[in-house]
Structure formats: structure tokens, C-alpha cells
Amino acid sequence: SQKIEQNSEALNIQEGKTATLTCNYTNYSPAYLQWYRQDPGRGPVFLLLIRENEKEKRKERLKVTFDTTLKQSLFHITASQPADSATYLCALDMNQAGTALIFGKGTTLSVSS
């Protein structure tokens, strides 16, 4: 069956450091992979989408990589701030089969000042 794993449930780092979150998947061949931020009691907010033919995508302090051979995506937040504290979810879509977004459980990031 399809499976999405995010490396850890919680990640604690100090302000200014780079946070790296991992998303691994099995039994998928996604056309693209997405990352979302979710704050407590709120719906997820879209951050970045990366396609299978893209190695890396950047948006301000965010960077996403996508390795279809390893079946892995890395999500980096550079110069992290306490305001970055939230749960980060990765989500996959099936390649050409046309199904919908399936989410991982998420990693809760805490940035301390």
C-alpha cells in the first residue's frame, strides 16, 4: 500500500539555524510533491510544489528538494525564526493516475529564541 513517512514527529532547533525536514514515500510515482504548513486549529496552508523533473525549488527562506530515485523530499527553512514554529506536512499526488492529495503525518517544528 502507499505510504508517506515524515522523519520525526518533532524537531526542536534554535533561532537562526536551518531546519531540515524529511519526507519519504513508498509505492508511489508522484508527478509532484507539495509541502504545507499547519498551525494548531487551522487548515493547512500551501507552501511549495515541486515536480518530478525538478531537483530543487526555492521560495524566500524555504528550499525543497525532490529525489525520485531515493523517493525522498527534503524541506529546509534557513535562518529559522520562532514564527516558523508549526507542523509541516508533505503531500503527494499520483503520477497521471489522477488521484488527490495524500498527506504525511507531519513534523512539528519548534524554534526557540
- Of 19, 75, 93, 111, the one binding other proteins by CB under 8 A: 93
Asked if 75 is part of the footprint of other proteins (rule: CB under 8 A), the reply reads no
From residue 9 to residue 28, the character string flagging contacts with other proteins as x (rule: CB under 8 A) and all else as - is x-------------------
Instruction: Select from 11-19, 41-49, 55-63, 75-83 the region that touches other proteins (CB under 8 A).
Output: 41-49
* Cα 42 from Cα 103, distance rounded (Å): 16
Asked if 83 is part of the footprint of other proteins (rule: CB under 8 A), the reply reads no
Minimum CB–partner distance for residue 33 and other proteins (Å): 11
Residue 87: which of 67, 104, 69 has the closest Cα?
A: 104
Residue 111: which of 38, 41, 10 has the closest Cα?
A: 10
Nearer to other proteins, 13 or 49 (CB): 49
Q: How many whole angstroms from its chain centre is CA 106? A: 8
Asked if 42 is part of the footprint of other proteins (rule: CB under 8 A), the reply reads yes
